[in-house]
């Protein structure tokens, strides 16, 4: 048995309080850290989300937390997960489980006190590590510690069996390979390629979540290019054409996964009809769909600042900044060139349409005509470089027609 030095986040009083509550009900050793946080510490990384698992069943978890006065929410009770909330921080606690039946998308589970059975239902060896509050690491598969230490991402047991249980594991393999592996595990890769058609059975939301997580990795480009070359990206992106060249350029300029997504699909994938296909397949939120649409509209950032000002007025600052990153990537700018352009853009003030409805009302307009004239004057003001003279002349013309002023 091997020990690790737990970081402060895993030994905080709030965490100890949760451990104490569960052990008061289930006995010493009935609860352990699991998965990502243990893997990260073993690999010398900062621990991410702190998740716990326990031999207690969900009802017993709730009873133990209630007895200790710890607020909790049944976030996934049917699958064994209760979330404890201490001092505003959530801690997911999941009962040990084993799969009874799987269909490639979801599993029917039953609860078990057996740590080994819980480990066997997980995806990769390096994710099947457990640790107690003292830092003692438990490796039921016997290969988790070695794989984490070596930076090796492999499916537990037979790769095809693990994938057929949940086809999302194909995408998780590529994401974890991009984020943790020192080299690609050939057997796991070949299994993912053989079974890639199973991605079509997944919900769009799950695919989108994994794709964005992959694009959030420090350097997702080699793995994304591998997915393209092996035909895995085709079902992920609903058959849309994708390329690595612009993605690589975008990734060199920003870590924002949503802008990187636009880079993955550039230039054809963000055309209106193609964006519609992608949005429908991945069930993209209205916010993200609009962001992708706005950032893909062309702006000439090589010209004078009048085009920049017009873009800021029409699209807002956030969309214009997104568009600048894409423009920089497509045109081969480096970080220094982009930084200079971003500073220039930040210094530009967005014009504010100065005409108020009350001025036209005083000039004799009302109702629908008032709204039409406001829009007409704003369009002329915009087309003429935001000239105040255009507004003055338009108001004077209205006053003459209405015999006011």
Give me the pLDDT at residue 13, please. 96
What percentage of residues in the chain have a pLDDT greater than 90? 71
- Is the same domain home to 89 and 206? no
Are residues 146 and 172 both part of a single domain? no
Say whether pLDDT at 85 is over 90. Answer: yes
CATH number at 191 reads 1.10.3090.10
pLDDT of residue 208: 96
Mean pLDDT of all residues in 67-93: 94
Give yes or no for residue 403 having a pLDDT over 90: no
Q: How confident is the model at residue 360, as a pLDDT?
A: 86
pLDDT of residue 269: 59
* Residue 362 and residue 347 share a domain: no
Q: Residue 338 carries which DSSP code? A: H
Is pLDDT above 70 for 1? no
First to last CA, the chain: 91
Domain match, 253 and 332 both: yes
Q: What is the CA radius of gyration of the chain?
A: 28
Count CB-CB contacts under 10 A for residue 163: 24
Domain count, the chain: 4
171 and 85 in one domain? no
What does 126-149 look like in DSSP terms, one character per residue?
Answer: GG--EE-TT-EEE-TTS-HHHHHH
Distance CA 396, CA 62 (A): 73
At residue 405 the predicted structure's pLDDT band, cuts being 50, 70 and 90, is low
pLDDT of 17: 97
Of residues 109, 135, 113, the one with CA closest to residue 6 = 135
Does position 270 have pLDDT exceeding 90, yes or no? no
What per-residue confidence (pLDDT) applies to 112?
A: 95
Q: What is the pLDDT of residues 161-192, one digit of tens each?
A: 999 999 999 999 999 999 999 999 999 999 99
- According to the model, what pLDDT value does residue 261 have? 94
Residues 143-159 have a mean pLDDT of 96
Residues 142 and 4 in one domain: yes
CATH label of the domain that carries residue 45 = 3.30.460.10
Residues of the chain with pLDDT > 70, as a percent, come to: 99
- Specify whether 301 is located in the same domain as 189: no
The last residue of one of the domains, among 236, 255, 277, is: 236
Q: What is the pLDDT of residue 48?
A: 82
Contact 353, 381 (CB under 8 A): yes
Provide the mean pLDDT of the chain: 92
Q: Which two tokens stand for residue 242?
A: 């994708």
Taking residues 88-111, report their average pLDDT: 86
Question: What DSSP state is assigned to residue 278?
Answer: H
List Cα–Cα distances, 70 to 88, 92, 93, in angstroms: 11, 13, 13
| Residues 276 and 307 grouped into a single domain | yes
Q: Are residues 135 and 278 in the same domain?
A: no
Ramachandran area for residue 92 (φ above 0: left; ψ -120 to 50: alpha; else beta) = beta
Expressed as residue numbers, the domain containing 299 is 242-351
* Contact residues for 257 (Cβ-Cβ < 8 A; gap 6+): 212, 213, 215, 216
Question: Which of 152, 182, 205 corresponds to the end of one domain?
Answer: 152
The answer on 137 and 2 residing in a single domain is yes
What pTM does this model have?
0.89
Q: Which of 310, 327, 351 is the last residue of a domain?
A: 351
Encode pLDDT of 218-244 as tens digits. 999 999 999 999 999 999 998 888 878
Residue 123 has φ and ψ, to the nearest 5°, of: -80, -55
The arithmetic mean of pLDDT across residues 61-76, rounded, is: 96
pLDDT tens profile 293-350: 888 777 778 877 888 898 899 889 999 999 999 999 989 999 999 999 999 999 999 9
Could you read off the pLDDT of 339-368 as tens digits, one per residue? Answer: 999 999 999 999 999 989 998 898 888 889
């Amino acid at each position: 048995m091997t020990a690790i030095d737990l970081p402060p986040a895993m030994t905080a009083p709030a965490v100890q309080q949760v451990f104490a509550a569960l052990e008061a009900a289930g006995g010493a050793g009935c609860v352990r850290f699991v998965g990502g946080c243990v893997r990260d510490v073993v690999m010398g990384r900062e621990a991410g989300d702190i998740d716990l698992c326990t031999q207690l069943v969900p009802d017993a978890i709730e009873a133990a937390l209630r007895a200790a006065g710890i607020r909790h929410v049944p976030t996934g009770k049917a699958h064994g997960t209760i979330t404890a909330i201490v001092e505003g921080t959530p801690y997911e606690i999941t009962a040990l489980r084993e799969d009874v039946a799987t269909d490639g998308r979801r599993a029917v589970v039953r609860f078990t006190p057996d740590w080994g059975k819980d480990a066997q239902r997980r995806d990769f060896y390096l994710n099947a590590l457990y640790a107690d509050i003292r830092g003692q690491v438990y490796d039921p598969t016997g290969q988790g510690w070695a794989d984490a230490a070596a930076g090796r991402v492999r499916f537990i047991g037979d790769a095809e069996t693990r994938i057929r249980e949940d086809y999302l594991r194909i995408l998780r393999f590529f994401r974890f390979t991009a984020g943790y592996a020192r080299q690609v595990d050939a057997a796991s890769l070949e299994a993912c390629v053989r079974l890639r058609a199973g991605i079509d059975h997944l919900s769009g939301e799950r695919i989108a979540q994994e794709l964005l997580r992959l694009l959030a990795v420090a350097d997702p480009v080699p793995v994304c290019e591998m997915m393209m070359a092996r035909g895995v990206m085709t079902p992920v992106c609903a058959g849309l054409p994708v390329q690595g060249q612009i993605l690589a350029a975008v990734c060199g300029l920003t870590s924002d996964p949503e802008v990187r997504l636009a880079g993955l699909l550039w230039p054809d994938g963000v055309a209106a009809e193609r964006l519609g296909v992608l949005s429908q397949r991945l069930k993209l939120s209205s916010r993200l769909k609009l962001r992708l649409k706005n950032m893909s509209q062309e702006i000439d950032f090589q010209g004078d600042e009048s085009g920049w000002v017009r873009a800021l007025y029409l699209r807002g600052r956030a969309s214009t900044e997104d568009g600048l990153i894409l423009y920089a990537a497509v045109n081969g700018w480096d970080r220094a060139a982009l930084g200079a352009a971003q500073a220039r853009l930040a210094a530009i003030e967005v014009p504010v349409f100065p005409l108020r409805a009350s001025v036209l009302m005083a000039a004799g307009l009302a109702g629908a005509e008032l709204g039409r004239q406001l829009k007409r004057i704003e369009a002329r003001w915009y087309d003429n470089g935001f000239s105040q003279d255009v507004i003055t002349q338009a108001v004077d013309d209205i006053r003459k027609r209405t015999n006011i002023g």
